[in-house]
Amino acid sequence: MILSNVTNPLLGMVDTAIVGHLGATHYLAGTAVAGMVITQIYWLCGFLRMSATGLSAQALGAANTAEAARVFYQLLLPAVLFGMLLILCTDALTWAAVLFADADTPTTEVIHHYLQVRVWGAPAALANLLLMGWLIGQQATRTVMTIQILANLFNALLSYALAMGLDMGVSGVATATVIAEYGIFISGLLVVLSRIKGVRPIVGWFTAQGYRHVLALNFDILLRNLALQLTMAFMVFQAARLDAQSVALNALLMQFFVITALGLDGIAYAVEALVGEAKGKQRQDLLHLQVCRGLAWSMLLALLYCLGFVLFDHAILRLLTDLPSLIALAEGYLLYIWLLPIVGHWCFLLDGVFIGLTRGREMRNSMLLCALAVFLPVWWLMYDAGNHALWIAFLAFLAGRGITLGWAYWRLWRAQTLLA
């Protein structure tokens, strides 16, 4: 999963490099805005992957192929339908992207051209969240890695061929991404169908009663994701109110968070699958053992990240930017970067635990509590510190999530209700 995660930002770098060589800055600006809009929508729909992983893992633990098939078919329908809805809302998405960016005419045209193509991949992209989550739950992570890496390499090569070779520009980059998304969908679908061994969908799975638990779980995780996105957006907009340099600095520093997430998410995904399997087997002792193992590996990786950032922070900064003024400004924020893995790994790992347990309510409550009762109050109390206040609040937010999720797990473990 770590190797699979690493390919995604690398692909983004390739696409950025291709668009960056089209001859004008508005190509890069328009693609960045349009890509951000579609990516944020997909990220909000991450509940499809999370719920699929937990439910699929539990079915694996119970050795129940029919239940695994039910999870797949039940989530596939809303994923495809919502993707089709996004296609119908293409004009609205374009309008929102242009409004958000307050773009000039050339950039607006790029946004329009990119979204008009990219949105056609929405049904496949959302279904892929489900497919990859389902396969992770089945512990087929090597298959997920292979599909992701091959698709991303194909995407990069096709982007170059269409954008530069056939002179399709931004539309070529978007077209390559859409083709890759459908390639992932077909590959993942074939693997899933082979694993469910011919189990066919049953009408009762698609009734209101059949969807009751799945919808409740997904709604809780959706609210959790929305709260996280609003918190991150708040950091962007507050930095913008300070000055443009703060926005650029935070975008730079957030790359350290992205780098950290690549590794910690890989361990969290593994814990999702192993905890879900233990719950499916109704083995609380095994479940608790997997959580402890996950915490040990997560802590080890966090310490390695911390050491790496302490030793190579300046080297990483110079890789990310060649602006001396921005590097000099970042030096005053290095302590936050050093602490980031140590403070944040708890919530990464425990998110994985609760996904495996399919307990969306605890994840939702933790996120809402820490956004409203930790992040905002800490930022407000530290307001005079300017941009430093945002980073102190962000670290407090991550710590709060780790503490609240840890307390929720401890309470369930002591009450012997982890398997409920």
Angle CA(175)–CA(177)–CA(182) in degrees, nearest 5? 100
Quote the DSSP letter at residue 121: G
Do 162 and 251 reside in the same domain of the chain?
A: no
DSSP for 351-384, written as a single string: HHHHHHTT-HHHHHHHHHHHIIIIIHHHHHHTGG
pLDDT at 8 > cutoff 70: no
**Cα 370 to Cα 390: distance, rounded to the nearest angstrom:** 14
pLDDT, tens only, 310-339: 999 888 888 777 778 888 888 999 999 999
Give me the helix-helix angle, 47-61 and 208-242, nearest 10°. 140
Do 294 and 170 reside in the same domain of the chain?
A: no
Do 216 and 184 reside in the same domain of the chain?
A: no
pLDDT at 5 > cutoff 80: no
Query: What's the average model confidence in pLDDT over 342-366?
Result: 96
| Position with higher pLDDT, 200 vs 319 | 200
In this structure, which amino acid lies at residue 370? C
**Cα 141 to Cα 147: distance, rounded to the nearest angstrom:** 10
Instruction: Name the pLDDT band for 27 (thresholds 50, 70, 90).
Output: confident
**Cα 13 to Cα 174: distance, rounded to the nearest angstrom:** 14
Q: Is 227 exposed, middle or buried (0-12, 13-18, 19+ CB in 10 A)?
A: buried
φ/ψ of residue 62, rounded to 5: -85, 0
Task: Report pLDDT for 267.
Answer: 94
Do 286 and 200 reside in the same domain of the chain?
A: no
Instruction: Name the pLDDT band for 139 (thresholds 50, 70, 90).
Output: very high
Instruction: Name the pLDDT band for 10 (thresholds 50, 70, 90).
Output: low
pLDDT at 100 > cutoff 80: no
Task: Report pLDDT for 126.
Answer: 95
pLDDT at 16 > cutoff 70: no
Task: Report pLDDT for 392.
Answer: 97
In percent, the amount of the chain with pLDDT more than 70 equals: 95
Do 197 and 247 reside in the same domain of the chain?
A: no
In percent, the amount of the chain with pLDDT more than 90 equals: 60
pLDDT, tens only, 215-273: 889 999 999 999 998 998 888 788 878 877 887 888 788 888 888 988 999 999 999 99
**Cα 356 to Cα 418: distance, rounded to the nearest angstrom:** 11
Do 123 and 255 reside in the same domain of the chain?
A: no
Structural domain including 79 reads: 1-206
Find tokens 């960056």 and name the residue. Answer: 20
Q: Give the chain's domain count.
A: 2
**Cα 348 to Cα 269: distance, rounded to the nearest angstrom:** 9
Query: What's the average model confidence in pLDDT over 394-401?
Result: 97
Task: Report pLDDT for 13.
Answer: 60
Instruction: Name the pLDDT band for 385 (thresholds 50, 70, 90).
Output: very high
Q: 206, 229, 258 — which closes off a domain?
A: 206
**Cα 420 to Cα 415: distance, rounded to the nearest angstrom:** 11
Report CA-CA distances (Å) from 164 to 12, 95, 222, 334.
Answer: 17, 28, 38, 39
**Cα 288 to Cα 121: distance, rounded to the nearest angstrom:** 40
**Most confident among 17-31, 138-152, 325-339, 393-407 (mean pLDDT):** 393-407
247-253: long-range contacts, CB 8 A cutoff, minimum separation 24: 248/326, 249/326, 249/329, 249/330, 249/333, 249/387, 250/387, 250/390, 252/317, 252/320, 252/321, 252/326, 252/330, 253/330, 253/333, 253/336, 253/337, 253/391
Do 159 and 187 reside in the same domain of the chain?
A: yes
Do 246 and 155 reside in the same domain of the chain?
A: no
Do 201 and 333 reside in the same domain of the chain?
A: no
Task: Report pLDDT for 32.
Answer: 75
Distance of CA 187 to the CA centre of its chain: 21
Do 333 and 248 reside in the same domain of the chain?
A: yes
Task: Report pLDDT for 101.
Answer: 66
Task: Report pLDDT for 135.
Answer: 96
Q: 206, 228, 252 — which closes off a domain?
A: 206
Query: What's the average model confidence in pLDDT over 6-33?
Result: 70
Task: Report pLDDT for 12.
Answer: 60
Q: Enter the pTM of the model.
A: 0.89
Average confidence score pLDDT of the chain: 89
- First CA to last CA across the chain, in angstroms? 28
Q: 206, 234, 259 — which closes off a domain?
A: 206
Query: What's the average model confidence in pLDDT over 331-352?
Result: 95
Instruction: Name the pLDDT band for 88 (thresholds 50, 70, 90).
Output: very high
pLDDT at 136 > cutoff 80: yes
| Position with higher pLDDT, 237 vs 81 | 81
Least confident of 4-13, 79-88, 228-237, 376-385: 4-13
Do 15 and 139 reside in the same domain of the chain?
A: yes
Do 223 and 265 reside in the same domain of the chain?
A: yes
